[in-house]
Amino acid sequence: MDDQLDELMVCRLNQTRKTVEPCSIVIFGASGDLTARKLIPALYHLHKEKQLPSSYRVIGFARREKSDADWRTELRAALNQFSRTKPVDEQVWTEFAANVFYCQGEFSDSAAYGKLEQMLTSFGQPALRDNLLFYLATSPSQFGECVQQLHEARLLRKGEEGPGWQRLVVEKPFGHDLASARQLNAELTRYASERQVFRIDHYLGKETVQNILMFRFSNSIFERLWNRDSVDHVQITVSESLGVGQRGGYYEEAGALRDMVQNHLLQVMSLVAIEPPVSLDAEPIRDEKVKLLKSIRPLTPADVAKNVVRGQYFAGTVDGELRPGYRQEPKVKSDSNTETFVALKLFVDNWRWSGVPFYLRTGKYLPLSASEVRIQFRPTPNVLFAAQCGTKLDPNALTLRLQPEEGISLRFNGKVPGTSTSVRPVRMSFSYNSEFGAYTPEAYERLLLEAVAGDATLFIRSDEVEAAWSIADSIRQGWNGQALTNREFYSAGTWGPVASEDLLAQRGHVWRNPQANK
């Protein structure tokens, strides 16, 4: 009965959303891993769920010579491997594949863009020629070239003057520091306006990350506590039980700071900490995120030494199997100083959060893969139960579990039943799976759909990306290229170097590690 009432109470917010218009989606770098693992499975599922426009085409643009049929065969094999629903539905695949084409060409060859233009025209519908989503799944060094060629081939019009619309979707890494991000922004906005650029951070496509704003601003009881008066500190953990595997070449240049902190962790933190936006439209939300990122206290080299811990894994056991050290991974230098772990303490210098530490950490080859935000509330006054139990009286905590076993739990103290007077923490939990069933669309499904619909809320604006790079750059400057010290290594399968525990101990805090099977 209650369940039925809950269903009646569902409030649908995106009913006023623009209907998706017929369009063509062109993927640059179509032979890459991202296309096979994420983009094609996402598009296949969107087709399956009838979310794509009534008429659409997907065109893979890449250097290798192959026919449409060859590409479809490759994609079908990838789908068998990476689809979130299995087996692949034959009928859906056949319908979907009929919309998929391949255009061979070098990114720098203007004739190839002419060929692309002809292909788009040959589809015979103006919308499939003029409404264009260009997905740049290429190396950032090629963005500038692609965009210029698209402009010259009259496929991309700045400000969308003329018929239809054109959008650029760009993948991370968006630059490797502030200067290169600015340079990329300049290259992209030479031939497209900012509102045509959709910068991806796939964490924003995750259900639970989107739920942070909904949780905060559709409930009055928690938001009242969401400030320095009630919150003692915040912990954000994004841990992975995998190592860098075959991505050593990329990772050597990136490291955990650029790969995870500059984007995913700072995005999650900004959603946890922003002020209420004036509306749910893209710009007000992004304005608040920029304000928040700019309120993070800048880190001097002395702050970095005190408040940022980096680490690198050496050989150890994860999930019962011995794993190699980072320096033994393929394409990694044997004396590499690249960090595979970062823990840091940040302060937000605004009215709401002044003095509240935000602890962020991420790492490869940690004991399990889990992402969590923990809001740790202040302890009770030191009287009554606290006076007797001391630190054994656990302060209240609210945990937003972002993945896996998505959910929210509130920890408070309760009386242990019986004649003795004992108190211990108990938990009130909401689990996505038990409440809504195991439907978890991939982040890329949501993101692709939003880009097709032209809603930029879940994408990163240029000033946002630049504000996040300023923070990452100040940390890198603090490290100043110095070699890792012994204290900065951790065994694969542990929660990072000891220095990470010390970072919290400075204020009497401890990391609360995510648990498996919560």
State the catalytic residues: 264
Rounded to the nearest whole angstrom, what is the least distance from the CB of residue 364 to ligand BG6 in the complex? 7
Read off φ and ψ for residue 92, nearest 5 degrees: -65, -45
Range 323-352, binding ligand BG6 (CB under 6 A): none
Most distant CA pair in the chain, distance = 85
Range 256-295, binding ligand BG6 (CB under 6 A): 259
Torsion of CA 503, 507, 508, 510, to 10 degrees: -40
Give residue 467's region: left, alpha or beta (phi > 0; psi -120 to 50). alpha
Q: Which is nearer to ligand BG6, 240 or 303 (CB)?
A: 240
Q: Which is nearer to ligand BG6, 133 or 256 (CB)?
A: 256
Rounded to the nearest whole angstrom, what is the least distance from the CB of residue 71 to ligand BG6 in the complex? 25
Query: What is the contact mask toward ligand BG6 in residues 222 to 261, using x (rule: CB under 6 A)?
Result: ------------------x------------------x--
Rounded to the nearest whole angstrom, what is the least distance from the CB of residue 388 to ligand BG6 in the complex? 42
CB-nearest residue to ligand BG6: 259
Rounded to the nearest whole angstrom, what is the least distance from the CB of residue 443 to ligand BG6 in the complex? 7
The size of the interface with ligand BG6 (CB under 6 A), counted in residues, is: 2
Rounded to the nearest whole angstrom, what is the least distance from the CB of residue 26 to ligand BG6 in the complex? 23
Q: What is the DSSP letter of 100?
A: E
CA gyration radius for the chain? 24
Are 255 and 313 in contact by the 8 Å Cβ rule? The answer is no
Q: What is the DSSP letter of 369?
A: -
Judged by DSSP in three states, 183 sits in helix
Rounded to the nearest whole angstrom, what is the least distance from the CB of residue 238 to ligand BG6 in the complex? 7
> Count of CB atoms within 10 A of residue 179's CB?
12
> Count of CB atoms within 10 A of residue 127's CB?
19
DSSP 329-347: STT--TT----SEEEEEEE
Q: Which is nearer to ligand BG6, 105 or 243 (CB)?
A: 243
Rounded to the nearest whole angstrom, what is the least distance from the CB of residue 494 to ligand BG6 in the complex? 18
Q: Which is nearer to ligand BG6, 240 or 464 (CB)?
A: 240
Task: Give CA angle at 244 (234, 497), nearest 5°.
Answer: 45
Instruction: Find all residues with CB under 8 Å of 39, minimum gap 6, and list them.
Output: 27, 135, 137, 444, 448
Q: Which is nearer to ligand BG6, 259 or 406 (CB)?
A: 259
Q: What is the separation, in whole angstroms, between the first and last Cα of the chain?
A: 27
Cis peptide upstream of residue 173 (ω within 30 degrees of 0): yes
Query: What is the contact mask toward ligand BG6 in residues 493 to 512, using x (rule: CB under 6 A)?
Result: --------------------
Q: Which residues sit opposite 398 in a β-bridge? A: 375, 410
Tokens of 471: 């923070």
Q: Which is nearer to ligand BG6, 123 or 198 (CB)?
A: 198
Rounded to the nearest whole angstrom, what is the least distance from the CB of residue 244 to ligand BG6 in the complex? 7
Q: Is 406 a residue that touches ligand BG6 (CB under 6 A)?
A: no
* Distances, alpha carbon 412 to alpha carbons 15, 24, 402, 418, in Å: 38, 52, 20, 19
Cis peptide upstream of residue 441 (ω within 30 degrees of 0): no
d(CA 330, CA 335): 13
Judged by DSSP in three states, 359 sits in strand
Q: Which is nearer to ligand BG6, 227 or 440 (CB)?
A: 440
Rounded to the nearest whole angstrom, what is the least distance from the CB of residue 83 to ligand BG6 in the complex? 16
* Distances, alpha carbon 345 to alpha carbons 37, 94, 120, in Å: 34, 51, 50
Element (H, E) at 478: helix 462-479
Q: Which is nearer to ligand BG6, 265 or 467 (CB)?
A: 265
* Distances, alpha carbon 211 to alpha carbons 54, 378, 400, 432, in Å: 29, 24, 9, 11
Are 332 and 338 in contact by the 8 Å Cβ rule? The answer is yes
Tokens of 396: 């209240």
Q: Which is nearer to ligand BG6, 254 or 344 (CB)?
A: 254
Binding site for ligand BG6 (CB under 6 A): 240, 259
